[in-house]
Amino acid sequence: MKKVTIEDVAKRAEVSKGTVSAVINSKNTVKPATRDHILAIMKELNFRPKGMARNLKNGGHDKSIGIIIKDLNYPFYTSIATGAKEYANSKGYSVIITSSENDHECEKKFTHLFSSKDIKGAIIAPLVEGTAEIEHLFKLKMINYPFVLLEDVKGIQANVVAIDNLKSIKKAVKYLIDGGHTKIVHFAGPSQSTHTQERIEGFRHAFSESPLIFSKEMIIYIGSRYEESFNNTMKYFSNRNRENYPTAIVCFNDQQALAVLMALKELNIRVPEDISIIGNDDIYYARLYPVPLTTIRAPQGEIGRKAAEILIRNIESPALLPNEKVVLETEFIIRESTKSLNQKVSI
């Protein structure tokens, strides 16, 4: 199939090449109506600007995709990247792995770098906390750049690969309730994150199917990174008498859970004798924590492989494909960080 060029877009839209170029580069010299018309033509023709054009002939020796993760030091993301790399390599693609290091400007910089060079598409673990904007994701959509998100982002219709957060947290909380726990709290992650909101919903649903009453005070936003989670855990317990401590905490992720474990150790609160802890992700060293962690195992390698599969399918398709959303199941892993308060526990 003949490669669609900027000339083809200009001809179909009945404008100059310069006008099309101005739209591609987000210049404000084009009237909104003309800009929308050109973007519609680009989408109709499945046009990707120079630097994004597919070069799949002759084996496409320079084929590559990019991955933007949040934290190179957190094994959850590196395992996903490894899964994506394995699949992409099997299809003849090289993989460039970068980390935004939880910095929104870095994420924007890398999406611009990938889309302006001849990197065919990207897998992105989006930073959606604080006042982070998503204009850079809108721009990728505007210019028809293939990408897959590892989390839903409100306002962006895109390919997504994720886990069933609601179901997995609901199962973990049910395990605690069936084990006799009545004072359970959820240490939540970034408030803007859809993962955070889905996990809160799972927590709430577990209570709705039990004799216990859910209240908003059970949800405590302490962040997802180690230092902020540690400090906020110390602050949470310093404001409570021991008789008001929860008997169990369900954490946003395993990194947060480690911070909670270390804070409780400093406060001379025993795990699981005083408080049970449940993490989320089952990163490879969760079993090596000071107290081996009961956690929710996400299929990290499969997330990466599935994201790469969807991405490459979109890259190689001559026509624009409908968005896909893949939701993968998790497994509940019981270790030493939780204890039953009665004799009967069901999973």
The fraction of the chain above a pLDDT of 70, given in percent, is 93
| Whether 131 and 219 share a structural domain | no
Residue 1 has pLDDT above 60, yes or no: no
The answer to whether residue 341 sits within a structural domain is no
The answer to whether residue 345 sits within a structural domain is no
The answer to whether residue 347 sits within a structural domain is no
| Whether 156 and 178 share a structural domain | no
The answer to whether residue 294 sits within a structural domain is yes
Select from 298, 317, 337 the last residue of a domain.
Answer: 298
| Residue 139 CA to its chain's centroid (Å) | 19
What residue type is 77 in one-letter code?
Y
Domain extent, residue 31, equals: 6-45
pLDDT at 52: 45
Pairing label, strands 147-149, 159-163 = parallel
Q: How many domains does the chain have?
A: 3
| Whether 154 and 233 share a structural domain | no
CA distances from 102 to 71, 80, 108 (A): 7, 17, 11
Residue 131 has pLDDT above 70, yes or no: no
The answer to whether residue 336 sits within a structural domain is no
Where would I find the beta strands (DSSP E) of the chain?
64-69, 94-99, 122-124, 147-149, 159-163, 184-188, 219-221, 248-251, 276-278, 295-297, 325-328, 331-333
| Whether 191 and 274 share a structural domain | yes
The answer to whether residue 83 sits within a structural domain is yes
pLDDT at 346: 47
C-beta separation of 176 from 338 below 8 A: yes
The answer to whether residue 346 sits within a structural domain is no
pLDDT at 144: 87
Specify the pTM.
0.81
Reported as a pLDDT band with limits 50, 70 and 90, residue 117 is confident
pLDDT at 32: 82
Residue 250 has pLDDT above 90, yes or no: yes
| Whether 218 and 235 share a structural domain | yes
How many other C-beta atoms are found inside a 10 Å radius of the C-beta of residue 235?
A: 12
| Whether 113 and 230 share a structural domain | no
Select from 298, 319, 341 the last residue of a domain.
Answer: 298
| Whether 138 and 169 share a structural domain | no
Distance between CA atoms of 47 and 68, rounded to whole angstroms? 24
The answer to whether residue 342 sits within a structural domain is no
Residue 345 has pLDDT above 70, yes or no: no
- Tally the residues of the chain: 347
Distance between CA atoms of 290 and 274, rounded to whole angstroms? 15
| Whether 22 and 94 share a structural domain | no
| Whether 137 and 184 share a structural domain | no
* Axis-axis angle for helices 135-142, 104-116 (nearest 10): 10
* Highest-confidence segment of 102-111, 188-197, 279-288, 313-322: 279-288
CATH number at residue 308: 3.40.50.2300
| Whether 231 and 284 share a structural domain | yes
DSSP label at residue 206? H
| Whether 130 and 159 share a structural domain | yes
| Whether 173 and 292 share a structural domain | yes
